[in-house]
């Protein structure tokens, strides 16, 4: 009875403050203490992206609870966790795609090369050019395969193939062809579609569409690539190709990938972040260490399949 009263007063006092300050200001308040987390991960160099104190709400529902994480450059970071724990939500915070969801509310800071991307003056278009994304469900445009892949470069003015460009002799068709071919090859789709680049992309199979979306993202040449379960609709052979691709990409790019496949995460990632239900980041660290010797009992249970 007394406990409830205290909590009520606490709430009214801290009204307006974000929930993390509430829990932090009174460690061990009540019997339900905040579960322990292991998210300190030491690495060399500056982080490409850093997140601190990130809360995300959809309306009144909290999807992410006080997430802090630093993502090293030119590496693969895997996000794993049970369905609905907020992995996609987290990923969308990194290129501010959550802005597009009505009712979504983001609190906290996310930096890209040290600059806060949630500041007023940020150029969203520029940010998303540099932080690309492959969605959980394939979403090609109802255009030809070539137009899909070349969409980004064309819109960014990197290649010009319009009528005016042809007229003035500044036609970049060859360069565009190169980009299309390179991107499709990287996404392991080239051999299947090279003879029908002008066919509509909606005529491809689900897995092919997903690889096309990867190619479309690569064509823009982003620095960070966010991938939301890019291999969930692919057969083992295409999956293996995509995994190879991701490992290759990590030489020049920073890759953040959501996956439900533990083996995949263990195979391709350099560091792994484990989210658990309720939108908390429970453990983050070197992939080998997280999988072989997890600090948290809950993470161990999740990884060994005792708890989903």
Partner 1 sequence: MSYPTDSALVVDDTGTAERLASGVVGLGLVTFVFSLLGLTQIVTEETAILGVGLYDFLAVGLLLMGVATVGLGVGSRVGVFNTTPDATPGAVTAALFGLGGFVVAGLLASQLLGFGTLGWLAVASLIGGVTFVGVALAPEDIGSTLPPGLAAIVVGLLIVGGILTPAFAWEPEGFSATLTGSMAIPLALSVTSLVTMWAGAKAYEGYGSTGRQTAAYLLVGINAVAIIAVLVGLLLFIASKGVGPAFQGFSLVPFEWPFVTNGYSFRPEVINGVFPAIVGTIWLVIGAVITGVPIAVAAAVFLTEYAEQGRFVGAVEIATNGLWSTPSVVYGLFGYAFLVPRLGGSTSLLTGMLVLGFMLLPLCLITSREAIKAVPDEYRDASAALGVSQWETIKSVVLPAAMPGILTGVILGVGRIAGETAPILLVMAGGLRDDAPNVLGSFEFTSAPPFVANDALLQSAPALPYQLYATITAGVSAENATEFGWATAFILLLVVLSFYAIGIFSRLYFRRRLNS
Ligand X SMILES: Nc1ncnc2c1ncn2[C@@H]1O[C@H](COP(=O)(O)OP(=O)(O)OP(=O)(O)O)[C@@H](O)[C@H]1O
Interaction of residue 206 with ligand X, rule CB under 6 A: no
CB of residue 85 vs ligand X: minimum separation in angstroms?
Answer: 5
89 interacts with, out of ligand X, Mg ion, partner 1, none, CB within 5 to 8 A per kind: ligand X
Least gap, CB of 89 to ligand X (angstroms): 3
User: Is residue 86 near ligand X by the rule CB under 6 A?
Assistant: yes
Q: Which does 152 bind (CB under 5 to 8 A by kind): partner 1, ligand X, Mg ion, none?
A: partner 1
Alpha carbon distances (Å) from 57 to 101, 106, 110: 11, 7, 16
Nearer to ligand X, 67 or 219 (CB): 67
How many residues of this chain bind Mg ion (CB under 5 A)? 2
Cβ proximity of 218 and 187 under 8 Å = yes
The answer to whether residue 88 forms part of the interface with Mg ion (CB under 5 A) is yes
Residues 218-247 that bind Mg ion (CB under 5 A): none
Which residue's CB comes closest to ligand X?
A: 88
Residue 203 contact, options Mg ion, partner 1, ligand X, none, Cβ 5-8 Å cut-off depending on partner type: partner 1
Choices 76-84, 154-162, 237-245, 280-288 (CB under 6 A): range interacting with ligand X: 76-84
Smallest distance, Å, CB 230 to ligand X? 12
Does 265 help bind ligand X (rule: CB under 6 A)?
no
Q: Is 101 in the site for ligand X (CB under 6 A)?
A: yes
Q: How far is the CB of 199 from partner 1 (least distance, A)?
A: 7
Instruction: Note the residues at the interface with Mg ion (CB under 5 A).
Output: 88, 136
Instruction: Note the residues at the interface with ligand X (CB under 6 A).
Output: 58, 63, 81, 83-89, 101, 136
């Amino acid at each position: 009875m007394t406990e409830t009263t205290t909590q009520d007063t606490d709430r009214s006092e801290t009204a307006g403050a974000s929930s993390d300050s509430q829990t932090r200001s009174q460690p061990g308040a009540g019997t339900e203490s905040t579960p322990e987390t292991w998210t300190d991960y030491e690495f060399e160099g500056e982080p490409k992206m850093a997140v601190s104190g990130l809360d995300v709400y959809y309306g009144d529902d909290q999807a992410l609870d006080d997430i802090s994480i630093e993502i090293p450059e030119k590496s693969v970071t895997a996000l794993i966790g049970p369905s609905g724990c907020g992995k996609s939500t987290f990923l969308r915070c990194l290129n501010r795609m959550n802005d597009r969801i009505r009712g979504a509310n983001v609190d906290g800071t996310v930096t890209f090369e040290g600059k806060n991307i949630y500041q007023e003056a940020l150029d969203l278009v520029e940010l998303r050019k540099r932080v690309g994304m492959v969605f959980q469900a394939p979403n090609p445009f109802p255009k030809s395969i070539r137009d899909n892949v070349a969409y980004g470069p064309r819109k960014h003015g990197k290649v010009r193939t319009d009528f005016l460009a042809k007229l003035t002799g500044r036609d970049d068709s060859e360069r565009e062809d190169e980009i299309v071919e390179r991107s499709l090859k990287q996404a392991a789709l080239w051999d299947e579609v090279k003879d029908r680049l002008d066919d509509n992309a909606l005529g491809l199979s689900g897995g092919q569409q997903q690889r096309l979306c990867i190619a479309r993202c690569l064509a823009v040449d982003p620095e960070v690539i966010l991938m939301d379960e890019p291999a969930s609709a692919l057969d083992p052979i295409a999956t293996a190709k995509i995994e190879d691709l991701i490992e290759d990409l990590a030489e020049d790019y920073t890759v953040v990938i959501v996956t439900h496949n533990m083996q995949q995460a263990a195979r391709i990632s350099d560091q792994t972040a484990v989210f658990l239900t309720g939108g908390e980041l429970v453990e983050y660290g070197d992939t080998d260490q997280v999988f072989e010797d997890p600090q948290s009992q809950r993470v161990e249970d999740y990884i060994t399949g005792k708890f989903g």
